[in-house]
Amino acid sequence: MRILVVAPNWIGDAVMAQPLLALLRRQHPQASLEVLAPPAVAPVFRAMAEVTDTLEAANRHGKPQWGERWRLSRQLRARGYERCYVLPNSAKSALAPWLAGIPLRIGHHGESRYLLLNRRLPPQRGEERRPMVEFYAALAGHDGPVPDPVLSPRPGLGREARARLGLRADEPLILLCPGAEYGPAKRWPSRHFAALASLAAAEWPEATIALLGSARERAMATEVTALSGQDLRNLCGDTSLDEAIGLIASASAVISNDSGLMHVAAACRRPQVAVFGSSDPRHTPPRSPRAQVQWLQLACSPCFQRDCPLGHTRCLNDLSPTAVFASLRQVLQPHAERPSR
């Protein structure tokens, strides 16, 4: 049997889909379990032990891409899939599997997909947002406890990334991830990351403190470095996502906003502190026993907005570096008095 999973477009959502892949592998141990993913998230699925193969195809927001969908459907038809799980809620995500004639096409109700899917889970009404891990796992017909996401990067990936970037393989590495693709209401201020970096440098002088993220976050990381007065390594934009996953898997600790890299750190079981502002850790938590969440849970949050609708962003501005540093010490304490690989 060949099974296709159409992946979500965001790194964090891709990580949170891993338990679904694990459940499908358990249900169909001999199946070829393949994922169709945008290039930006494909490395996440390459780090999942359950995935047989990862196919890459762009899935740009707001564009039907009729010609591309038709060409993609011909490729999918040639591969002979028997069933498909469509994780995004958009109609266009289900278009290529429908055009390819995949017999069983499974997904949540989503938007205008009556013809495109032939097994739809009904929309949830009158209840709080279901955690995303359970939301995806429900597509496998699973209604019991859902395991936490787990990533298994290729052995040696972190060591190779360190070598290319001039980081010693045996040095403690603390990663700061100041970005969040969604918007400013999910980004802890640069001055707070800078103050945290200073506290960490004083506590663990033997550790390398590096900033990790995309090229779009390089200016933010430069600001953090300047404000901290510390010798930080700005790696934003210097790594591929594969390398970023490898570095996170080898890190002593990770401090991040609610972002895709937060979910990667949780799935790699690294000691971590996750800072939440406009989003809700009950909906998209870092699902790891080695994670701590810092969230003020103000009366106005979670608002799930890109920018603070009240103009003050107190949910992040009022969250002090000392509070996050205390959580960092706590997540490291059970394992060592100081960071270690």
Q: Look up the CATH number of the domain holding residue 325.
A: 3.40.50.2000
The residue out of 108, 140, 172 marking a domain boundary is 140
Domain for residue 328, yes or no?
yes
How far apart are the C-alpha atoms of 259 and 132, rounded to whole Å?
Answer: 14
Structure confidence at residue 340 (pLDDT): 35
Structure confidence at residue 67 (pLDDT): 77
Residue 211 is given by DSSP the state: E
Higher pLDDT, 273 or 57: 273
pLDDT above 70 (res 338) = no
Asked whether residue 210 falls in the same domain as residue 276, the answer is yes
Asked whether residue 90 falls in the same domain as residue 215, the answer is no
Average confidence score pLDDT of the chain? 92
Asked whether residue 170 falls in the same domain as residue 248, the answer is yes
Asked whether residue 182 falls in the same domain as residue 134, the answer is no
Element (H, E) at 201: helix 190-203
The residue out of 85, 105, 140 marking a domain boundary is 140
Structure confidence at residue 180 (pLDDT): 87
How far apart are the C-alpha atoms of 167 and 82, rounded to whole Å?
Answer: 46
Domain for residue 136, yes or no?
yes
Domain count, the chain: 2
Asked whether residue 200 falls in the same domain as residue 94, the answer is no
How far apart are the C-alpha atoms of 204 and 19, rounded to whole Å?
Answer: 35
* In contact, 241 and 40? CB cutoff 8 Å: yes
How far apart are the C-alpha atoms of 189 and 201, rounded to whole Å?
Answer: 19
Asked whether residue 184 falls in the same domain as residue 41, the answer is no
Asked whether residue 236 falls in the same domain as residue 286, the answer is yes
Q: What is the pLDDT of residues 295-321, one digit of tens each?
A: 999 999 998 999 999 999 999 999 999
Distances (CA, A) of 64 to 41, 92, 95, 108: 20, 6, 9, 19
Output the 3-class SS for 154-197.
CCCHHHHHHHHHCCCCCCCEEEEECCCCCCHHHCCCHHHHHHHH
Asked whether residue 79 falls in the same domain as residue 208, the answer is no
Asked whether residue 100 falls in the same domain as residue 206, the answer is no
Which whole number is the average pLDDT over 226-231?
96
Q: What is the pLDDT of residues 120-172, one digit of tens each?
A: 998 766 445 679 999 999 999 988 899 999 999 999 999 999 999 999 999 99
The confidence band for 64, taking pLDDT boundaries of 50, 70 and 90, is low
Q: Residue 306 sits in which domain range?
A: 158-332
Structure confidence at residue 130 (pLDDT): 79
Domain for residue 341, yes or no?
no
Which whole number is the average pLDDT over 29-47?
97
* In contact, 253 and 247? CB cutoff 8 Å: no
Structure confidence at residue 125 (pLDDT): 62
Structure confidence at residue 181 (pLDDT): 82
Structure confidence at residue 337 (pLDDT): 37
Domain for residue 339, yes or no?
no
Asked whether residue 178 falls in the same domain as residue 304, the answer is yes
The half-sphere exposure of 212 on its side-chain side, counting CA atoms within 13 A, is: 34
Asked whether residue 238 falls in the same domain as residue 127, the answer is no
pLDDT above 50 (res 336) = no
* In contact, 233 and 166? CB cutoff 8 Å: no
pLDDT above 80 (res 106) = yes
Domain for residue 338, yes or no?
no
pLDDT above 90 (res 84) = yes
Structure confidence at residue 318 (pLDDT): 96
How far apart are the C-alpha atoms of 272 and 290, rounded to whole Å?
Answer: 6
pTM score: 0.93
pLDDT above 60 (res 341) = no
Domain for residue 337, yes or no?
no
Q: What is the pLDDT of residues 284-294, one digit of tens each?
A: 999 999 999 99
Structure confidence at residue 61 (pLDDT): 62
Domain for residue 180, yes or no?
yes
> Inter-axis angle of helices 91-99 and 66-79, to 10 degrees?
50
Q: What is the pLDDT of residues 4-20, one digit of tens each?
A: 999 999 999 999 999 99
The confidence band for 339, taking pLDDT boundaries of 50, 70 and 90, is very low
The confidence band for 60, taking pLDDT boundaries of 50, 70 and 90, is low
Which whole number is the average pLDDT over 74-92?
94
The confidence band for 109, taking pLDDT boundaries of 50, 70 and 90, is confident
Asked whether residue 219 falls in the same domain as residue 290, the answer is yes
Domain for residue 149, yes or no?
no
How far apart are the C-alpha atoms of 165 and 251, rounded to whole Å?
Answer: 14
Positive or negative: CA dihedral 311, 314, 320, 321? negative
